[in-house]
A = this chain, B = another copy of it.
Amino acid sequence: MKENTIKKIWADGGVVVNGWLTIPSSFSAEVMAHQGFDSLVVDLQHGAVDYQAAVTLLQAICTTSVIPMARVPWNDPAVLMKILDAGAFGVVCPMVNNAEQAEALVRACKYPPRGYRSCGPVRAKYSCGADYLDHADDNTLVIPQIETAQALDNLDRILEVPGIDAVYVGPADLAMALGSHARSGQDDAVVLAAKKKVAETCMRHKRIAGIHTPSAEAAFKAVEEGYRFVTIASDERFLAAKASAEVNSIRNAMRRR
């Protein structure tokens, strides 16, 4: 099976710089795969992407050595298994709030006897390798999201579930769940404390802390806190930010004329 280089980066003590795909185009996905990310997550939850398009995005990523992963819309075995069959090297799963949900997540992602994933790696046996069945359980990552007060409370137990490789903080959801505004995910004291707690708890459990951030600057701050799986914004955010900056730039220049 093709090596999951994310695991190697982590084993070497490094940080994975991750990108996020919400645009349902295999062309924009391929463009993103050439920008230097270690991995790219196809977002089937909030992204404008459903399974059929997601397959083409995973293929586009596989034209490079970037590791393709997916965020599923929910902790649902049907979707988890289907996107793994499509060649995702790992899944990020929203709203995992306790150990039972984390175990259910793991079991849906692992073949018997570790779980009950159904056998049929229709694309993975090509894109990941003909020996996929022998190595998939060890090489595909299971990453629950921590985005509620309940999940924070249960973090130790979630991290103790065998098969959980990392957790992933969704700051906007976490902020809202903690009574703050979604946009305050970067500065509210309660949220900052929660993010710090996740990093520290993960280090104590020798698990990886991951987080969504709006910028390289914020991502680097997270790295300094101990996060080792950091996402910077998304394709849509990059597109909007650069386009509006350029438009504003010329409009300002013309105004000053």
Residues of chain A whose beta carbon lies under 8 Å from any beta carbon of chain B: 15, 17, 19, 22-28, 30-32, 34-37, 43, 45-53, 55-56, 59-60, 62-63, 73-74, 76-79, 81-82, 85-86, 94-95, 111-113, 116, 118-123, 126-127, 133, 147-148, 170, 172-173, 176-177, 179, 181-183, 215-217, 219-220, 223-224, 230, 232-233, 235-236, 238-251, 253-254, 257
- Residues B220 and A30 in contact, CB atoms below 8 Å apart: no
A-B contact pairs, 8 of them (CB 8 A): A19-B247, A26-B55, A28-B28, A32-B239, A52-B53, A56-B56, A59-B59, A74-B76
- Residues B31 and A239 in contact, CB atoms below 8 Å apart: yes
CA distance A197 to B240 in the complex (A): 34
Q: How far is the CB of A217 from chain B (nearest CB, A)?
A: 7
Instruction: Count chain B CB atoms within 10 A of each CB in A36, A223, A243 and give the residue with the most.
Output: A243
CA distance A63 to B65 in the complex (A): 9
- Residues B173 and A118 in contact, CB atoms below 8 Å apart: yes
Known contacts: A28-B28, A118-B94. The answer to whether A52 contacts B55 by CB under 8 A is no
CA distance A25 to B27 in the complex (A): 9
In the bound complex, residues from chain B placing their C-beta under 8 Å from that of A253 are: 216, 220, 223
- Nearest CB to that of A76 among chain B residues? B78
Q: How far is the CB of A37 from chain B (nearest CB, A)?
A: 6
- Residues B48 and A123 in contact, CB atoms below 8 Å apart: yes
- Nearest CB to that of A82 among chain B residues? B73
- Residues A133 and B34 in contact, CB atoms below 8 Å apart: no
CA distance A232 to B62 in the complex (A): 26
Known contacts: A127-B30, A179-B113. The answer to whether A216 contacts B122 by CB under 8 A is no
- Residues A251 and B59 in contact, CB atoms below 8 Å apart: no
In the bound complex, residues from chain B placing their C-beta under 8 Å from that of A232 are: 246-247, 250
- Residues A123 and B230 in contact, CB atoms below 8 Å apart: no
- Residues A172 and B78 in contact, CB atoms below 8 Å apart: no
Q: How far is the CB of A129 from chain B (nearest CB, A)?
A: 10
Q: How far is the CB of A43 from chain B (nearest CB, A)?
A: 8
In the bound complex, residues from chain B placing their C-beta under 8 Å from that of A247 are: 17, 19, 35-37, 216, 232
In the bound complex, residues from chain B placing their C-beta under 8 Å from that of A127 are: 30, 63
- Residues B73 and A74 in contact, CB atoms below 8 Å apart: no
In the bound complex, residues from chain B placing their C-beta under 8 Å from that of A246 are: 215-216, 232-233, 238
